[in-house]
Structure 1
């Protein structure tokens, strides 16, 4: 009977040990699956963050090229689209980095729970590699964000200065245009005054010529009256006029002949 009891007790202990070992194996398998799942999620997030960072850097370059245009000529739609894409991608990358940080923290907790005394070197190496990748991605993201933010602030400052300069130029241009209009108006008034003076001079000259014409007409009338009264004097005056006319004709002929001779001599 004692032998039977001891045998029954030993078989019961063996079954308990088997159950414990089975539970431990199941737990170890579950922990191994958890580790692999965490590594898979970490690699997936790292690949996604890597692609996002490449696109983010390219967006910073294209954003710089868009902002190089003049603020007055650059399309406002392109500016708003670039800024919206920058903000959206920055938010997405920040969320992915937060998720990757959470995964790394869970991996650290896993190593602390499964290996409370001393984790294996391979596990620590894998964990350190994921943490280094997270640190590099975070540093690159912060650097790119800082560069683009500084670029935006600089371009905004330059744009405000450029707008102030353009406003000053426009106001100066309006003032210069007003001054030119005033000067042109003054020139027109001076020209009108000079024209009025010339018209007054012409009117005075006309009146003077009319008075002289009237005087000559009266003198001619008196001479004709005097000649009609004295026929001898009239005939004498006519002879004098005929001789003057003849002398004028002879003088004209002589001058013409001289000119013809000079031309012949010059072109000979």
Structure 2
């Protein structure tokens, strides 16, 4: 009869809830302690078992409703019917508790896994960035050293060139003084030439100044 069917379903649901609870705990613990992929998708097994339990709960609810439609023969039968409803209520509460705990644990583990992955990625990226920074800094130092060496080489070449020119000018000046001392007439001639150049420069400057003054005077009249 209906009471036997109800007791049979209750026993089956009770056994499945025990297995369901163990599966939820083992699945969460295994995911939290290992990164290996199991041969069977335990989450899928968990969901399949949840679906089976929901089906059994629906059947038990249907049988309880059918028993409620019957007229109780006495207080004992009424108590039995009420007891079946309470058992169904307890099973639903236990089932929802197990599934909610599993979902919360899974979400927490997914969040921790995501955070751990981001940390690993950040460490990896930071290590690469540091290596790149060190390489760039090393290259910059190498380029700076090469540039400094080039500048030092240019400065040394310029110094040598100036020293060579200075020595050449000294030799020319010495020769010119020797010629002047040996040939006083040449020295006197050179002095007169220099005086004439200075005089011509003064005269030319005066002429240019007068012309400029006359042009300005004409322009402003």
SS of equivalent to 1:110 = coil
Report the Cα offset of residue 144 of structure 1.
0.7
Which residue of the partner structure matches residue 81 of structure 1? Answer: 41
Which residue of the partner structure matches residue 7 of structure 2? Answer: 43
Matches within 5 A, 1:91-110: 91-110=51-70
Instruction: After superposition, give the CA deviation of every residue in 1:41-61 in whole Å (9 maximum; x if it has no partner).
Output: 111111110110000110111
Distance in 2 (CA, whole Å) between partners of 1:96 and 1:149 is: 21
Report the Cα offset of residue 86 of structure 1.
1.1
Q: TM-score, normalised by structure 2?
A: 0.60
Tell me which of 45, 50, 61 is aligned to 1:90.
Answer: 50
Which residue of the partner structure matches residue 22 of structure 2? Answer: 58
Tell me which of 76, 92, 114 is aligned to 1:160.
Answer: 114
Report the Cα offset of residue 186 of structure 1.
5.2
Instruction: After superposition, give the CA deviation of every residue in 1:36-94 in whole Å (9 maximum; x if it has no partner).
Output: x111111111111011000011011101211213xxx612346x712111111110111
The answer as to 2:92 corresponding to 1:132 is no
Which residue of the partner structure matches residue 100 of structure 2? Answer: 146
The answer as to 2:92 corresponding to 1:174 is no
Asked which structure has the greater CA Rg, the reply is: 1
Which residue of the partner structure matches residue 31 of structure 1? Answer: none
Distance in 2 (CA, whole Å) between partners of 1:67 and 1:192 is: 57
> When the two structures are aligned, how many residues end up with a matched partner?
151
Q: Which structure ranks higher in relative contact order (CA pairs < 8 Å, sequence separation ≥ 6)?
A: 2
Aligned-pair RMSD on alpha carbons? Answer: 2.6
Tell me which of 62, 67, 71 is aligned to 2:31.
Answer: 67
Distance in 2 (CA, whole Å) between partners of 1:89 and 1:174 is: 46
